[in-house]
Amino acid sequence: MTHAEIALKADRLTKRFGQLTAVNQLSLSIERGAIYGFLGPNGCGKSTAIRLLTGLLIADEGEVTVLGQPLAGHEEALKSRIGYMTQKFSLFENLTVLENLRFVAAIYSVKGVQAKKRIDELLQLYGLSERQQQLAGTMSGGQKQRLALACATIHHPELLFLDEPTSAVDPENRRDFWERLFDLSAAGTTILVSTHYMDEAERCHGLAILEHGIKRADGAPRELMQSMSANVVEISGDSLRQVKQRLSALPDVISAAQVGNHLRVLVSKSVDDAIGLLTPFSDNYDLALVRPSLEDVFVSCTGGRHVG
């Protein structure tokens, strides 16, 4: 069996800002060509972790290996092999589409005929050929996002970092964007993407759930769902708000949240019979054990602290 090539590795990476530890002993390993996600709420350290992994920020502790080379001391050399799309659109709004692409090409020393060829290719690939002369600032969210991706990949990076790339686009454009990410992944590009959307995280090959800078779980979304430390019980009936209050007070209930006409209750796996535990507090209701979702995994990893 051949070992998969590791494109990005971090070992106990730590970054402090004064009293705050924004990234705390983060270790991870991402195979070449994989799409790996950072899932977590605002402020959990996703952007800081990405900055550490790109070499834009220096870690207080820990090591990063990028494309087989230690990052420390090789930041400049590795720059040409890495692409980075920041949280806000990394575009000049008062430049045209073409000017934005030419500018980024120049930064990455893609020159002359090669630059023209690459820009034409990207304009075509991302459906922007008709808009080359349009000011970037006047385009829709989805178009801006496609241009930002074109800019981030102009130099054919082997490793691409995307920090919450779809926070400003609608579901249809998000879907289209992810299809493009899978095209890049199929061509061998390794992608690290941060998100706070569950559906987006579920598309990743691998995933780290972050909270307060700490990695709470790591694995393929399906594995995480299978190995979750809680059972999920769905309760249906009337007056669910009162039931929710009663159940939330039980020590073995990690969380209870209403989803439409159901209450979704996470019960610690240390309880053998989750339905038996809940039944006395939810008389005349229908209770059923259901399959966990990624959101359930997230809630169980973070102790239900991020849901109302």
3-state SS assignment for residue 308: coil
Q: Could you tell me the strand order of the sheet in which 159-163 lies? A: 82-85, 159-163, 190-195, 35-39, 206-211, 214-219
CB nearer to ligand ATP: pick between 44 and 253: 44
Q: What residue ranges bind ligand ATP (CB under 6 A)? A: 17, 20, 22, 40, 42-48, 87, 164
Shortest Å distance, C-beta 60 to ligand ATP: 13
Shortest Å distance, C-beta 18 to ligand ATP: 7
Are the CB atoms for 231 and 274 separated by under 8 Å? yes
Cβ neighbours of 68 (radius 10 Å):
10
CB nearer to ligand ATP: pick between 45 and 157: 45
CB nearer to ligand ATP: pick between 217 and 247: 217
CB nearer to ligand ATP: pick between 167 and 185: 167
Shortest Å distance, C-beta 193 to ligand ATP: 12
Shortest Å distance, C-beta 41 to ligand ATP: 7
CB nearer to ligand ATP: pick between 123 and 208: 208
| Contacting residues for 235 by C-beta, under 8 A, at least 6 apart | 243, 262, 263, 265, 278, 282, 285, 286, 287
Shortest Å distance, C-beta 118 to ligand ATP: 30
Instruction: Determine the longest span between alpha carbons in the chain, in angstroms.
Output: 75
Residue carrying the six token digits 């809680």: 230
CB nearer to ligand ATP: pick between 16 and 79: 16
Shortest Å distance, C-beta 217 to ligand ATP: 16
The span from the CA of 250 to the CA of 148, in Å, is 48
CB nearer to ligand ATP: pick between 15 and 155: 15
Shortest Å distance, C-beta 102 to ligand ATP: 30
CB nearer to ligand ATP: pick between 167 and 268: 167
Distance set, CA 23 to CA 27, 46, 211, 248, 268 (Å): 10, 8, 9, 31, 28
Check residue 28 and report its DSSP letter: E
CB nearer to ligand ATP: pick between 24 and 173: 24
79 CB burial (10 A radius; 0-12, 13-18, 19+): middle
User: Both tokens of residue 241?
Assistant: 């708000």
134 CB burial (10 A radius; 0-12, 13-18, 19+): middle
Shortest Å distance, C-beta 216 to ligand ATP: 13
Cβ neighbours of 184 (radius 10 Å):
19
Shortest Å distance, C-beta 79 to ligand ATP: 21
Antiparallel, parallel or unpaired: β 253-259 and 35-39: unpaired
